[in-house]
Structure 1
Amino acid sequence: MKLILTQPVSGLGVAGDVVEVKDGYARNFLLPRKVATAWTKGGQKQVEAITKGREKRALKTAEDAAAAKASLEGTTVTVPARAGQGGRLFGAVTPTEIAEAIVAAGGPQVDKRRIEVTTPIRTLGTHTVHVRLHDDVSADVKVDVVAA
Structure 2
Amino acid sequence: MEVILIQDVNTLGGKNEVVKVKNGYARNFLIPQKFAVEASPSNLKQLNERLKVQKKKEDAMMAEIKSVIAKLIEAPVKLTAKTGTSGKIFGSITTVMVARAIREQKGYEIDRRKIHLPDEVKELGTYKAKVDFANGNEAEVELEIAAEA
Question: TM-score, normalised on structure 2?
Answer: 0.58
Shift, 1:59, TM fit: 4.3
Q: Look up the match of 1:130.
A: 130
In the alignment, does 2:118 pair up with 1:102? Answer: no
Indicate the SS of the match to 1:128: strand
For 1:95, give the aligned amino acid. Answer: T
Measured after TM superposition, the shift of residue 130 of structure 1 is 0.5
Output aligned runs, 1:42-121, within 5 Å: 58-121=58-121
User: Residues 61 and 134 of structure 1 are in contact (CA less than 8 Å); yes or no, is this contact kept in structure 2?
Assistant: no
| Counterpart-to-counterpart distance in 1, 2:133 and 2:68 | 8
Partner of residue 44, structure 2: none
Residue identity matched to 2:87:
G
Runs of 4+ in 1 over 6 A off after TM superposition: none
> In structure 1, what residue type is equivalent to 2:132?
R
SS at match of 2:144: strand
Contact 2:118–2:127 (CA<8 Å) still a contact in 1? no
- Displacement after TM superposition at 1:80 (Å): 1.0
Taking the aligned partners of 2:83 and 2:58, their CA distance within structure 1 comes to: 41
Higher RCO (CA < 8 A, seq sep 6+): 1
Unaligned runs of 5+ in 1: 1-15, 19-44, 46-54
Post-superposition CA distance 1:70-126 (Å, at most 9, x none):
000112111111111221011110001001111111242111110001311110011
Tell me the amino acid that sits aligned with residue 83 of structure 2. A
- Identity, % of aligned positions: 25
- Which has the higher Rg, Structure 1 or Structure 2? 2
What SS class does the counterpart of residue 63 from structure 2 fall into? helix
Gaps in structure 2 of 5+ consecutive residues: 1-7, 11-34, 36-53
Q: State the distance in 1 between where 2:126 and 2:81 align.
A: 13
When normalised by structure 1's length, the TM-score is 0.59
Question: Cα RMSD between the aligned structures?
Answer: 2.4
Q: What secondary structure does 2:70 align onto?
A: helix
Alignment length, in residue pairs? 98
The aligned amino acid for 1:110 is I
